[in-house]
Structure 1
Amino acid sequence: MPDEKSKTDNRDRGRVAGDEEYEVGYLASKFQLTIPEVRELIRKYGNDRDTLEREAKALGNR
């Protein structure tokens, strides 16, 4: 069965919803950071997922 391309939602998977606890918690657990550290990354770098994951990885390796 082919994918129905007209039935998509408007969510942008390339962005992190910083006001959603599950998104912040996911990044925190994935990179072993605290919730405040993830919120600071979002404040500092915006909500682009690729940028946040790169910076979170760098912060987690310190």
Structure 2
Amino acid sequence: MAKTTRGLAQDRARVAGGQDHEVNYEAKKEAVSKDTVKKTVKEVGNSRKKVEDKLDHK
């Protein structure tokens, strides 16, 4: 099966709150706790831009 890039851009645009590696990445990137990232995802949804915007304002 050939590797494709289908869906990769969409995947990067989302934060999977249930995926530890994604939560850890955002927490490190934004210098906040993992719990803060998870709460923010629940508040604003899983759009990476919305999550990062909300975390920047905290």
Range into which the TM-score falls when normalised by the shorter chain: 0.7 to 0.9
- List runs of 5+ in structure 2 lacking aligned partners: none
How much identity, in percent, do the aligned residues show?
32
Question: Are 1:55 and 2:54 an aligned pair?
Answer: yes
Q: Equivalent residue for 2:13?
A: 14
Counterparts of 1:13 and 1:28, CA distance in 2: 15
TM-score using structure 1 length: 0.75
Q: Deviations over 1:5-57 (max 9, x none)?
A: xx333342211111111110111111111111111000100000110011111
Structure number with greater Rg is 1
Root mean square deviation, CA, Å: 1.7
Q: Equivalent residue for 2:28?
A: 29
TM-score using structure 2 length: 0.79
**Larger fraction in helix:** 2
Letter in 2 for 1:18: G
Where in structure 2 are the equivalents of 1:33-44 lying within 5 Å? 33-44=32-43
Counterparts of 1:51 and 1:16, CA distance in 2: 10
Of 34-43 and 8-17, more deviation after overlay is shown by 8-17
Q: Aligned pairs, how many?
A: 54
